[in-house]
Amino acid sequence: MHRIAVVPGSFDPVTLGHVDVIERAANLFDELHVLVVHNPAKTALLPISQRVSLLEQSIADAGLQGSIKVASWSVGLLVDYCTEVGASVLVKGIRSQVDVAYETPMAIVNRNLAGVETIFMLPDPAHAHVSSSLVRQVASLGGDVSPYVPRAVADYLQPDTSADLLASRPQ
């Protein structure tokens, strides 16, 4: 049986914690879709196309093996994408009890709607405190984000670039 899973997220931007979850999930499944999704509850820093590009570069730079596909999805339910590609599992990285409380109802609904199971992966302790929101905040204030993100992201979010991105972001 060909096992297909989806790792969804806003990846705004991708962090080393995301890459860790992607790598571990790729070792568990025959095919892994890393899916950049639009989160209407968040104001994005990076356009979806840039997030896809940075994810692809970060995955390549990490030397991740296996069948990993990066895509985006902004219309419809996440389980619709899963059904379209034949995935029966969602993989979600969780950092704390807050993430568990947020993700559990969605996992139940995804299972009820389409029979898609959700697997929660605990982070590597080295990355457990890092979120994309934290990275955006540090970058916006001119701080060094290189300990928290892949090199491609750190290069992209140099202080001059991130200031320009934040200035052009709709308020």
Q: Give the CA-trace dihedral at 84, 73, 77, 64, to 10 degrees.
A: 70
Contacts of 18 (CB under 8 A, 6+ apart): 9, 11, 93
DSSP state of 57: H
What is the pLDDT, as a whole number, of residue 154? 96
Model confidence over 132-149: pLDDT tens digits?
999 999 998 999 999 999
For residue 91, pLDDT over 90 is answered with yes
What is the pLDDT, as a whole number, of residue 164? 57
Whole-model pTM: value is: 0.90
Specify whether the CB–CB gap between 32 and 7 falls below 8 A. Answer: yes
What is the pLDDT, as a whole number, of residue 39? 80
Structural domains of the chain, ranges and CATH numbers in brackets: 4-168 (3.40.50.620)
d(C-alpha 136, C-alpha 142), whole Å: 10
Q: Supply the DSSP string of 93-152, one letter for each residue.
A: E--SHHHHHHHHHHHHHHHHHH--EEEEEPPPGGGTT--HHHHHHHHHTT---TTTS-HH
- Closest by Cα among 73, 84, 81, 83 to 114: 83
Model confidence over 58-85: pLDDT tens digits?
999 999 977 999 999 988 899 999 999 9
